[in-house]
């Protein structure tokens, strides 16, 4: 989850209120963020549906209304400017949308710049899906001359000096030579052209979504800032610009509109137009369990930075343009709940009369557990995730078809087990320095490929057990299986079977009603050597689904 560093002093200044530290933390948590406390800087973790919390300004804005300092829809004055962005048709195939703003008179200290860049990076991730959908450029306006042109060019067509570099390069070279360029090169790996923004003098000052030119790099001081947001979805591009504009306005800047011209279509950005949604107050009452009047609901929404006007039992709600999470009236209901306070609500019990029950498989496995424990076996628990080395090679058996992972993070987990015996033997190997005798069992899942299933697999419950001590033999494990089946009121028969995991001639398949339901035997010394175990082991495994068929 994204994290924003918030300077406590700055937050208090923005609120214009000297709130005690603990209360401040408490209020931030009530808004759904979690705070990790550190002296003068709060590490605030926010949910990715609220990218407007990506700066101290956004958090201060939410607190202001929530605490009732100034409720309702915050006003952001947007001024006119004559800055123009001309969008060339050539970007349509690469990165079709752009939204821009000019923020004048920003007083930026070193720390402010760090925070603004952090916010930009958060937006890249949360809204931009790692710059794919949205990429943001912030520029020192004094270095460039409008009008600007957003166009796509050949990879060797233009040259500029990228940020954090000193060499003039073509876009193609940027992706290879510049450090920032290399990092983001994957974003353009299938593109035929590179998008760039050039100013009236033909100077390239941005190569979205990769890097800015070094000429527009921001430094501390009083600055006029030009913002470009490019991307593949118009909505998201505008949302990102709205969030930035609101934040920079609260940072003391004057936000000016830019005229963006797409051929015959012209739009003005940032738009900053509030969203509008109708909320049925009954829905809010129903979902929260609170008895809400339209007035009460409206006042709660105002505390969440919205405006609401009652029309009968309905509210016409105007919500801020940076609230990208509002898709449905239920999203407004959540804001009502937050404003009301989750921990002020009295819990109540469900009304419906239902009867509890366990799955038959739970009951039968409980029973089997009881029998195994009665015979002195201790339960172990292993993962379904495993690897071919443990599952097949160490067991001296050939690979059968099995679920293979496409993107394992470690070599340890590359597949799903099809049998419990390897897990059980690994457990014994892990315990080789613990006291013997060791008798263990596991009831767990295995996953088998089944092309007829919608998921191409079936999950089976198996039971496996092993006994390890100096006198462990086939006859001991057979006695155990005999007793288990006797208690389960099942008759079984053994048929000799060759299985390389076991000693030849000391392994049997277990049949129930002519169905092969499992196997048992004495583990081969080769396998014991493979796993580093110096103790005789006998083991069995049965497929519970085969002996006690269940309905799926």
Partner 1 sequence: MTQVFHWLEKAVLAALTRLGGRGSYEKIAEEVAEVLRASGSEWRVDRESRISSVAKACGWLRDKGLVTVEEAGKERFVALDSEGIEYAVNGLPERKVVNHLQMKGEATVEEISALPRSEIGLMWARRRGWVDFVKKNSTTFVILKENVPDKTDVEKFLESLYTSPDAEIPESSVPQAVLEELLRRQKIVKITEKTMKTVSLTDSGRQAAAQLTEVVPEVTRLTPELLRSGAWRQVVLSKYDVKAPTPPVFAAKRHPLSEVIRMVKQAYVEMGFEEIEGPIVELAFWNFDALFQPQDHPAREMQDTFYLLEPAAGDVPVEHVEAVKAVHETGGDTGSKGWRYKWSVEEARKLLLRTHTTATTIRHLAKVKKPPVKVFCVDRIFRNEKVDWKHLAEFHQIEGIVVEKTANLRMLMGVLKDFYARLGLKEVRFRPSFFPYTEPSMEVEVKLGGKWLELGGSGIFRPETTYPFGVRDPVLAWGLGLERLAMVIYGLEDIRAFHLNDLAWLRTASPMKVLAAAGGF
Least distance to partner 1, CB of residue 408, Å = 7
Closer residue to partner 1, CB minimum distance, 156 or 234:
234
Which strands form 378-379's sheet, in the order they lie side by side? 378-379, 438-449, 457-468, 537-543, 515-523, 502-512, 493-496
Query: In the block, which residue shows the tokens 């941005």?
Result: 206
CB of 239 to partner 1, least distance (A): 12
Shortest distance, position 112 Cβ to partner 1, whole Å: 28
| Beta carbons within 8 Å of 486's beta carbon, 6+ residues apart | none
Contacts of 356 (CB under 8 A, 6+ apart): none
* CB nearer partner 1, residue 124 or residue 506: 124
Please identify, using beta-carbon distances, which residue of 88 and 382 lies nearer to partner 1: 382
Q: How far apart are CA 227 and CA 135, in angstroms?
A: 11
Among 382, 393, 473, 487, binds partner 1 (CB under 8 A): 382
Joined together, the tokens standing for residue 505 give 């001639």
The only residue of 353, 411, 489, 514 in contact with partner 1, by rule CB under 8 A: 353
Least CB distance to partner 1 at residue 433 (A): 9
Q: Is 190 in the site for partner 1 (CB under 8 A)?
A: no
Q: Which of residues 472-501 bind partner 1 (CB under 8 A)?
A: none
Residues 261-320 that bind partner 1 (CB under 8 A): 286-290
- The CB-of-546 to partner 1 minimum distance in angstroms stands at 18
Q: Cα separations (Å) of 409 from 168, 418, 446?
A: 39, 21, 21
Tell me the CA distances in angstroms from 214 to 83, 143, 164, 218, one per residue in order: 21, 10, 7, 9
For the chain, the distance separating the N- and C-terminal CA atoms, rounded to the nearest angstrom, is 38
How far is it, in rounded angstroms, from Cα 22 to Cα 13?
Answer: 16
Contact flag: residue 367 with partner 1 (CB under 8 A): no
Could you say whether residue 356 binds partner 1 (CB under 8 A)? Answer: yes
Residue whose CB is less far from partner 1, 264 or 344: 344
x/- map, 440-469, partner 1, by CB under 8 A:
x----x-x-x-x-xxxxxxx----------
Rank residues 458 and 509 by Cβ distance to partner 1 and give the closer one: 458
Fill in the DSSP letter of residue 187.
Answer: G
Site for partner 1 in 50-109 (CB under 8 A): 50
Interface with partner 1 (CB under 8 A), residue from 129, 177, 314, 500: 129
Angle at 406 between CA 403 and CA 411, to 5 degrees: 85
Q: Smallest distance, Å, CB 204 to partner 1?
A: 29
| The only residue of 362, 475, 491, 513 in contact with partner 1, by rule CB under 8 A | 362
Burial of 5 (0-12, 13-18, 19+ CB in 10 A): middle
- Per CB under 8 A, the list member of 11, 15, 24, 31 interacting with partner 1 is 31
Which 386-425 positions form the footprint of partner 1 (CB under 8 A)?
401, 403-410, 412-413, 416
Q: Which of 219, 357, 470, 551 binds partner 1 (CB under 8 A)?
A: 357
The answer to whether residue 186 forms part of the interface with partner 1 (CB under 8 A) is no
Specify whether the CB–CB gap between 94 and 195 falls below 8 A.
Answer: yes
CA distances from residue 466 to 398, 473, 538, 540 in whole angstroms, order as listed: 22, 10, 6, 7
Q: Which of 117, 200, 383, 496 binds partner 1 (CB under 8 A)?
A: 383
Instruction: Give the H/E segment covering residue 145.
Output: none
* Contact predicate 6/114, CB 8 Å: no
The answer to whether 354 contacts partner 1 (rule: CB under 8 A) is yes
221 in Cβ contact with 47 (< 8 Å): no
Token reading at 16: 């214009």
Q: Which stretch binds partner 1 (CB under 8 A): 150-158, 180-188, 246-254, 380-388?
A: 380-388
| Order of strands, sheet of 34-36, starting from the edge strand that comes earlier in the sequence | 3-7, 41-45, 34-36
Q: Can you tell me which of 88, 121, 233, 388 binds partner 1, judged by CB under 8 A?
A: 233
Closest CA to 372 of 461, 479, 484: 484
Q: Is 333 near partner 1 (CB under 8 A)?
A: yes
- What DSSP character marks residue 129? T
Of 81 and 230, the one with the shorter C-beta distance to partner 1 is 230
Q: How many CA atoms lie within 13 A of 307 on its CB side?
A: 11
Tell me the closest approach of the beta carbon of residue 273 to partner 1, in angstroms: 15
Contact positions with partner 1 (CB under 8 A) in 11-30: 29-30
Closer of 260 and 332 to partner 1 (Cβ) = 332
Binding mask 234-263 for partner 1 (x = CB under 8 A): -x----------------------------
Query: Shortest approach of partner 1 to residue 55 CB, angstroms?
Result: 18
């Amino acid at each position: 989850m994204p994290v924003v560093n918030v300077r406590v002093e700055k937050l208090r200044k923005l609120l214009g209120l000297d709130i005690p530290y603990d209360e401040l933390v408490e209020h931030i948590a009530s808004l759904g963020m979690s705070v990790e406390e550190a002296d003068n800087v709060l590490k605030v973790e926010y949910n990715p549906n609220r990218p407007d919390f990506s700066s101290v300004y956004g958090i201060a804005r939410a607190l202001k209304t929530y605490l009732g300092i100034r409720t309702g829809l915050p006003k952001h004055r947007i001024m006119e400017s004559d800055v123009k962005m001309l969008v060339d048709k050539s970007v349509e195939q690469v990165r079709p949308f752009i939204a821009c703003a000019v923020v004048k008179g920003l007083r930026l200290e070193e720390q402010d710049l760090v925070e603004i860049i952090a916010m930009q990076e958060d937006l890249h991730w949360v809204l931009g899906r790692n710059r794919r959908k949205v990429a943001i450029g912030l520029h020192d306006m004094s270095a460039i001359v409008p009008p600007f042109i957003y166009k796509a060019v050949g990879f060797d067509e233009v040259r500029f000096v990228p940020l954090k570099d000193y060499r003039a390069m073509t876009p193609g070279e940027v992706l290879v030579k510049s450090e920032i360029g290399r990092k983001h090169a994957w974003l353009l790996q299938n593109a035929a052209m590179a998008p760039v923004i050039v100013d009236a003098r033909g100077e390239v000052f941005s190569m979205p979504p990769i890097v800015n030119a070094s000429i527009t790099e921001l430094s501390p001081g009083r600055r006029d800032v030009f913002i470009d947001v490019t991307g593949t979805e118009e909505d998201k591009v505008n949302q990102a610009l709205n969030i930035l504009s609101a934040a920079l306005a609260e940072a003391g800047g004057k936000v000016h509109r830019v005229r963006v011209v797409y051929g015959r279509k012209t739009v003005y950005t940032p738009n900053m137009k509030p969203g509008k949604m109708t909320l049925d107050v009954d829905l809010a009452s129903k979902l929260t369990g609170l008895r809400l009047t339209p007035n009460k609901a409206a006042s709660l929404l105002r505390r969440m930075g919205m405006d609401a006007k009652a029309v009968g039992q309905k509210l016409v709600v105007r919500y801020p343009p940076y609230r990208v999470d509002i898709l449905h009236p239920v999203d407004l209901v959540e804001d009502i709940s937050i404003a009301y306070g989750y921990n002020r609500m009295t819990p109540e019990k469900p009304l419906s009369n239902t009867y509890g029950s366990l799955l038959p498989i739970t009951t039968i496995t409980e029973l089997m557990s009881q029998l195994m424990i009665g015979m002195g076996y201790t339960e172990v628990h292993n993962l379904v995730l495993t690897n071919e080395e443990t599952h097949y090679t160490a067991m001296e058996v050939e690979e059968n078809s099995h679920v293979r992972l496409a993107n394992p993070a470690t070599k340890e987990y590359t597949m799903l087990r099809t049998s419990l015996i390897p897990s059980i033997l690994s457990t014994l190997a892990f315990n080789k320095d613990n006291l013997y005798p060791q008798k263990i069992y596991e009831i767990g899942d295995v996953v088998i490929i089944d092309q007829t299933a919608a998921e191409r697999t079936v999950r089976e419950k198996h039971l496996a057990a092993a006994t390890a001590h100096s006198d462990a033999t086939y006859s001991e494990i057979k006695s155990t299986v005999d007793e288990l089946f006797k208690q389960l009121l099942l008759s079984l028969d053994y048929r000799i079977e060759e299985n390389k995991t076991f000693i030849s001639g000391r392994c049997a398949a277990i049949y129930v009603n002519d169905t092969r339901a499992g196997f048992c035997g004495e583990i081969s010394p080769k396998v014991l050597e493979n796993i580093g175990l110096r103790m005789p082991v006998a083991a069995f495994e049965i497929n519970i689904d085969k002996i006690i068929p269940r309905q799926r």
